[in-house]
Amino acid sequence: MKTKTKPKAPKSSGEIIELRLYVAGQTPKSLAAISNLRKICGQDLKTRYHIEVIDLVKNPALARDHQIVAIPTLVRSLPVPIRKIIGDLSDTERVVVGLQIVEPKRA
């Protein structure tokens, strides 16, 4: 009999990763980044992701305050240290490595 290990409840992992995705309006790159990000985070069920999407067209002052040059930019603010990734996140492996997300284990 195969025992299925249930995916652990997020609470028990104790890790919360805060992500902020900076985009500029509804450009193709921005939309792609959003969808890619959701996909990556969806695959990883162990950790809880807190994703915030910031549209710099609506709020340009934030670009200066948060030192954003490239769009899209993904910033992992928690846990420290801060990590930044630029691009539409189509290169999944790079994203994972860059964010230092624990590899989603196959059940």
Partner 1 sequence: MRPKTKNAKNGKSQPRVHELRPLQKAATGIAGLDEITGGGLPRGRTSIVCGGPGCGKTMLGIEFLVRGALQFDEPGVLMAFEETPEDIAQNVASLGFDIEDLAARKKLYLDYISVEPSELQEAGDYDLEGLFLRLQSAVQAVGAKRVMFDTLEALFSGFSNPGILRSEFRRLFRWLKDQGLTAIITAERGEGTLTRQGLEEYVSDCVILLDHRIRDQISVRRMRIVKYRGTKHGADEYPFLIDERGMSVLPITALQLQHDVSDERVSSGVPDLDALLEGKGYFRGSTVLLSGTAGSGKTTLASSFAAETCRRGERCLYIAFEESPKQVARNMRSIGLDLDEWNRQGLLFCESWRPTQFGMEMHLLRIHKLIEQIQPRAVVIDPITNLIDSAANQKEVYSVLLRLIDTMKSRGVTAVFVSLTGGNEDLERTNVGISSLTDTWILLRDVELNGERNRCIYVLKARGMAHSNQLREFRLSSSGVELIPAYIGNGGVLTGSARLSQEAKEKADALTRQQEAERKQQQFARKRLALEAQVEVLQAELAEIEHEAKLAGVQERKREDELLLDRQRMAESRGSRQD
Using CB under 8 A, which residues numbered 33 to 52 contact partner 1?
33, 36
Partners of 55 in beta bridges: 23
Q: Which of 12, 14, 69, 107 touches partner 1 (CB under 8 A)?
A: 69
**Residue 33 CB, nearest approach to partner 1 (Å):** 7
User: What phi and psi, each to the nearest 5 degrees, are found at residue 49?
Assistant: -110, 135
- The verdict on 76 binding partner 1 (CB under 8 A) reads no
- The verdict on 82 binding partner 1 (CB under 8 A) reads yes
Nearer to partner 1, 9 or 82 (CB): 82
Return the C-alpha torsion angle 69, 26, 53, 80, nearest 10: -30
Report how far residue 85's alpha carbon sits from residue 78's, in angstroms, rounded to the nearest whole number. 14
- The verdict on 61 binding partner 1 (CB under 8 A) reads yes
The residue whose two tokens read 């959701």 is: 38
Report how far residue 51's alpha carbon sits from residue 61's, in angstroms, rounded to the nearest whole number. 20
**Contact set with partner 1 (CB under 8 A):** 22, 24, 27, 29, 32-33, 36, 56-57, 60-61, 63-64, 67-73, 82-92, 94-95, 97-98
